[in-house]
Amino acid sequence: MTMSGRDIEDIVRVVLAEAKKHGADQAEAAASHDLGIAATARLGTVENLEYTNDRGVGVTVFCGTRKGSAGTSDFSAEALCETVRKACAFARYTEADPCAGLADADLMATTIPDLDLAHAWPIESEEAIAIAVESEDAARSFDKRVTNSEGATVSTNNGVRAYGNTHGFLASFRKSSHSISCVVVGEQNGDMQRDYHYTTARDPRDLEPAKAVGQRAARRTIDRLGARKVKTCKAKVLLAPEIARGFIGHAVAAISGGAQYRRSSFLLAAAGEQIFPQFLQLQERPHIPKGMASAPYDAEGVATHDRDLVVDGVLQGYVLGSYSARRLGLSTTGNAGGAHNLIVPGNARDLAALVRDMGTGLLVHELIGHGVNPVTGDYSRGAAGFWVENGDIAYPVHEVTIAGNLRSLYRRIVAVGQDQDLRGGIRCGSMLIDEMAIAGA
């Protein structure tokens, strides 16, 4: 079992006391302990079996406006004291930074809501292997054109986190994460394709059945056989939900405090501007029970709260921790460590309905490469998916590139489906863009 919340808080308490003893004006510490297993089966046999027992503590001290940090995975009293001494020593060599320091004391979370984030999956290695084999077998037996496999993996993780600082804040919470994934290869007339499917959740009861994961991976793979290029053109592009959430993620990165104060964002100083069409909203909801990005407080102990980042297409503000906020002359938004459960409400039905609405264009199921310039917003990604004609899927497509500038592309979103992908920190449905450049044959 992982350490108890009280035990992990005691580690943080010791570290903070040691920091005060060494003359730190302010200090913060975070500790964690995670236990997990991961089993991978390939071609019906065990390919990999891992057990993790990870623990660690990090401390940051502030001597005036000089900052020093250190960490260790050793929870012994001697190691904790040495870690604090190192952090204090490092602080003597860093440049003074007037923006350094803890988040303001009056912003600390005073109540810690139970967000139902911890659900153990009490499986041993043998059962995890059996589930992985079941998922892969379902994929391999789905269609004779499934000729190979990259394996199915079952993983489970349970952990506890604690954070405290010299404002007197100290809290902890438990969380879990479980997943089943499968990747297979299909072949037909010399054409080989691969695809995958996965399910992930805080609660193992919310996972898709292992057999369904394998069958979905096989179906996706078979559907891609016979893929070809399309002619270079400009056309509508429909992003599947798992692709759409990443597309929105580029905007979130651009409005993060670090990108803003470093002036390395294509949405620089864009608060108050219309960056999306009027129908689009972007909401942060940190307290969704079992949410994959839910958190009762941020990485600085600041209380998290509901917030609307985009209202009627207009950017309301940025994603800030205390340091970036001070650099910008603003206040923290409780986002040290990132955003918490971003939601894009849909204004349309699901992927199938949007395919019909699109008429003719490219349905994207996979993106390849990292062709996104965060400073200019220039966007160019390899893509695979399906060509749609007259509202019906005509044939699979690969080896094409979709391109444009995100500033323009965001304004060209015409519909977002209600088929939200709940497997990550951004919940977004299928997304239809009325025109993108498509480079193909």
Verify that 201 and 238 share a domain, yes or no.
no
Is residue 131, in this structure, part of any structural domain at all?
Answer: yes
Q: How confident is the model at residue 1 (pLDDT cuts 50, 70, 90)?
A: confident
Please determine, for residue 441, whether its predicted confidence score (pLDDT) is greater than 80. Answer: no
Please determine, for residue 428, whether its predicted confidence score (pLDDT) is greater than 90. Answer: yes
Verify that 98 and 180 share a domain, yes or no.
yes
Q: Which helix (H) or strand (E) holds 141?
A: none
Per-residue model confidence (pLDDT) at position 269: 97
Is residue 336, in this structure, part of any structural domain at all?
Answer: no
Cβ atoms 438, 235 nearer than 8 A = yes
| pTM assigned to the model | 0.94
Verify that 32 and 95 share a domain, yes or no.
yes
Per-residue model confidence (pLDDT) at position 195: 96
Verify that 205 and 239 share a domain, yes or no.
no
Considering the chain, what is the average pLDDT of its residues? 96
Q: How confident is the model at residue 232 (pLDDT cuts 50, 70, 90)?
A: very high
Is residue 290, in this structure, part of any structural domain at all?
Answer: no
Please determine, for residue 220, whether its predicted confidence score (pLDDT) is greater than 80. Answer: yes
* Domain C-terminal end among 160, 194, 224: 224
Per-residue model confidence (pLDDT) at position 2: 78
Verify that 141 and 188 share a domain, yes or no.
yes
Verify that 17 and 77 share a domain, yes or no.
yes
For 104-145, strand residue ranges (E) read none
Q: How many domains does the chain have?
A: 2
Residues 6+ apart with CB under 8 A from 65: 96, 97, 98, 99, 100, 101
Verify that 111 and 237 share a domain, yes or no.
no
Is residue 286, in this structure, part of any structural domain at all?
Answer: no
Verify that 238 and 197 share a domain, yes or no.
no
Q: What is the pLDDT of residues 343-374, one digit of tens each?
A: 999 998 999 999 999 999 999 999 998 899 99
Per-residue model confidence (pLDDT) at position 226: 95
Is residue 390, in this structure, part of any structural domain at all?
Answer: yes
Per-residue model confidence (pLDDT) at position 370: 86
* Domain C-terminal end among 224, 254, 280: 224
* Single-letter code of the amino acid located at 285: R
Among 425, 378, 376, smallest CA distance to 401 is for 378
Q: What is the pLDDT of residues 264-281, one digit of tens each?
A: 999 999 999 999 999 999
Is residue 258, in this structure, part of any structural domain at all?
Answer: no
Is residue 302, in this structure, part of any structural domain at all?
Answer: no
SS3 content of the chain, % helix, strand, coil (to 5): 25, 40, 35
Per-residue model confidence (pLDDT) at position 5: 85
Task: Look at the chain and count its residues.
Answer: 441
Verify that 153 and 241 share a domain, yes or no.
no
CB-CB neighbours of 329 under 10 Å = 8
* Domain C-terminal end among 224, 256, 272: 224
Taking residues 91-112, report their average pLDDT. 96
CATH of the domain at 89: 3.30.2290.10
Is residue 319, in this structure, part of any structural domain at all?
Answer: no
Q: Tell me the percentage of the chain whose pLDDT exceeds 90.
A: 97
Helices 210-224 and 125-140: angle between axes, nearest 10 degrees: 30
Verify that 181 and 138 share a domain, yes or no.
yes
Verify that 81 and 200 share a domain, yes or no.
yes
Per-residue model confidence (pLDDT) at position 81: 96
CA angle 104, 324, 113 (to 5 degrees): 50
Q: Tell me the percentage of the chain whose pLDDT exceeds 70.
A: 100
Taking residues 188-198, report their average pLDDT. 95
Q: How confident is the model at residue 34 (pLDDT cuts 50, 70, 90)?
A: very high
412 phi and psi angles, rounded to 5 deg: -95, 5
Per-residue model confidence (pLDDT) at position 3: 84
Q: Which domain holds residue 399?
A: 233-245+346-439
> Strand 146-165 vs strand 170-188: parallel, antiparallel, or unpaired?
antiparallel
Taking residues 148-152, report their average pLDDT. 97
Per-residue model confidence (pLDDT) at position 124: 93
Please determine, for residue 389, whether its predicted confidence score (pLDDT) is greater than 90. Answer: yes
Please determine, for residue 243, whether its predicted confidence score (pLDDT) is greater than 80. Answer: yes
Verify that 81 and 168 share a domain, yes or no.
yes
